Amino acid sequence: MIRLDHVSLRYEDGPDVLSDVNLHLAEGSFHFLTGPSGAGKTSLLKLIFLAHRASAGRVSIMGHDIATLSRHQMSLTRRQIGVIFQDFRLIDHLSVYENVALPLKIAGQREGRYQKDVLELLQWVGLGQRIDALPATLSGGEKQRAAIARAVITRPRLIVADEPTGNVDPEMGLRLIRLLDELNKMGTTILLATHDQQLWTHFAHPRLHLEAAQVHMAKPQEAL
């Protein structure tokens, strides 16, 4: 699903943020990505959700070497990746329903076809009572659930989440990861960056640790 071979990344003439990283994440896997602030977690995720190009090496996503993809193939691949950003990035003037439906609308689907799916998903993430609310009126946890719903509405094969629990309380953080866990059980590959030890110690998923421009597999952690 995700393969990095000898990947390096630096910004302009800065130091290597990633240096000769090799990584292979299987379809259907769930990995945490940890590492100190500034280690390069967001940068690594950006390579994977095709928002940034490596300075050297090869990035393959879903079997495609992304250097060889046409712009069109790139956007088709990108559509199979759901991204959850730390700062939510909900659109202020759209309701919860409209925010979540937006990726389908952009993909050219008619509302008649997706309305039921969007409403069901909003129920599933616990926002059934908030469908007409504007983002500004939502709590942190509600915003994050809306962001998750928007990331998964297109049934992506891969979900990349960048510190998705950074702005919610620990209890809500655990609920959010359980949601992602359920999607993973249905086959979605998940890669989730977090610096929150509370989170990953509760789950048996393997953890990648990024430090000093290198990624290594951390020791398995006993569930608490």
* Residue of the chain from 37, 72, 92, 113 that contacts ligand ADP (CB under 6 A): 37
Q: How far is the CB of 42 from Mg ion (least distance, A)?
A: 3
Regarding 164 and contact with ligand ADP (CB under 6 A), the answer is no
* Residue of the chain from 17, 104, 152, 192 that contacts ligand ADP (CB under 6 A): 17
Q: How far is the CB of 94 from Mg ion (least distance, A)?
A: 26
Regarding 38 and contact with ligand ADP (CB under 6 A), the answer is yes
Amino acid at 208: L
CB 14 within 8 A of CB 6: no
Which of 207, 189, 200 is CA-nearest to residue 224?
Answer: 200
The upper half-sphere exposure of residue 54, i.e. CA atoms within 13 Å in the direction of its Cβ, equals 24
Q: How far is the CB of 11 from ligand ADP (least distance, A)?
A: 3
**Residue nearer to ligand ADP on the CB measure, 54 or 118:** 54
CB atoms within 10 A of CB 115: 13
DSSP E strands, 96-188: 158-162
Regarding 41 and contact with ligand ADP (CB under 6 A), the answer is yes
Regarding 34 and contact with Mg ion (CB under 5 A), the answer is no
Q: How far is the CB of 45 from Mg ion (least distance, A)?
A: 8
Q: Which two tokens stand for residue 215?
A: 């990624």
Contacts (Cβ under 8 Å, ≥6 apart) of 203:
30, 32, 177, 181, 223
- Rounded to a whole number of angstroms, the distance between the first and last alpha carbons of the chain is 29
**Residue nearer to ligand ADP on the CB measure, 94 or 218:** 218
Question: Could you list the residues that contact Mg ion (CB under 5 A)?
Answer: 41-42
| Binding footprint of ligand ADP on the chain (CB under 6 A) | 11, 14, 17, 35, 37-43
